[in-house]
Amino acid sequence: MNSGRYTDLRFREGAFEARCRLCDEWWPLTVDDAGKPEYWLPRHGLVRCRACHLAIARNRKAAADPVVEAKREAARLRYRANRATHLAASAAWRERNPERVRAYRREYYLRHRDEAIAAAKAYYREFRPVVLAKKRAVRRGEAAA
Ligand SMILES: [Zn+2]
């Protein structure tokens, strides 16, 4: 990972390479047949490779485009207006199809069983005193925190 103000440089296979601060890849400091830099835009410094620089420039241009911004705002409004309806519809579907919900949850559990067990064990290992204190509190009839 690059840090600080200077670009990482190295010499590999007969060419200097610099590391892009965004994609973290090494790109050679070479020129094409026309004498133009292939992977870097020197006028923008050796901070980001050509691809990363152009991607950022493209996104900035798209964000500044009023048509794109109007479309995004319309999509946001549509999402907000339809959100409650969609949530209610999917809740109603789940209510009508409990066996499919159960089958999905069972399949999901079987797919992620090992992760769930590992997470539970890690939690218990880390918070064992707290878990045991809660169990003791429940046994004594106190409300668990
Ligand atoms: Zn890059």
pLDDT one-digit tens code per residue, 13-72: 888 999 999 999 999 998 888 888 899 988 888 889 999 999 988 888 777 778 888 898
Q: How far is the CA of 142 from the centre of ligand 1 (A)?
A: 58
SS (H, E, C) 60-106: HHHHHCHHHHHHHHHHHHHHHHHHHHHHHHHHHHHHHCHHHHHHHHH
Is the model's pLDDT at 3 over the cut of 60?
no
Q: How far is the CA of 41 from the centre of ligand 1 (A)?
A: 11
Q: In the chain, what is the straight-line distance between the N-terminal and C-terminal CA atoms, in Å?
A: 43
Q: How far is the CA of 17 from the centre of ligand 1 (A)?
A: 12
Q: Quick one: pLDDT at residue 4?
A: 60
* Global pTM value: 0.41
What the block records as the tokens of 131 is 């878990």
What the block records as the tokens of 104 is 């999905």
Across 128-140, average pLDDT: 93
Q: How far is the CA of 21 from the centre of ligand 1 (A)?
A: 7
Q: How far is the CA of 24 from the centre of ligand 1 (A)?
A: 6
Q: How far is the CA of 54 from the centre of ligand 1 (A)?
A: 10
pLDDT per residue as tens digits for the range 60-118: 877 777 888 889 899 999 999 999 999 999 999 999 999 999 999 999 999 999 999 99
Is the model's pLDDT at 5 over the cut of 70?
no
Is the model's pLDDT at 6 over the cut of 80?
no
- Residue pair 56/47 in contact by the 8 Å Cβ criterion: no
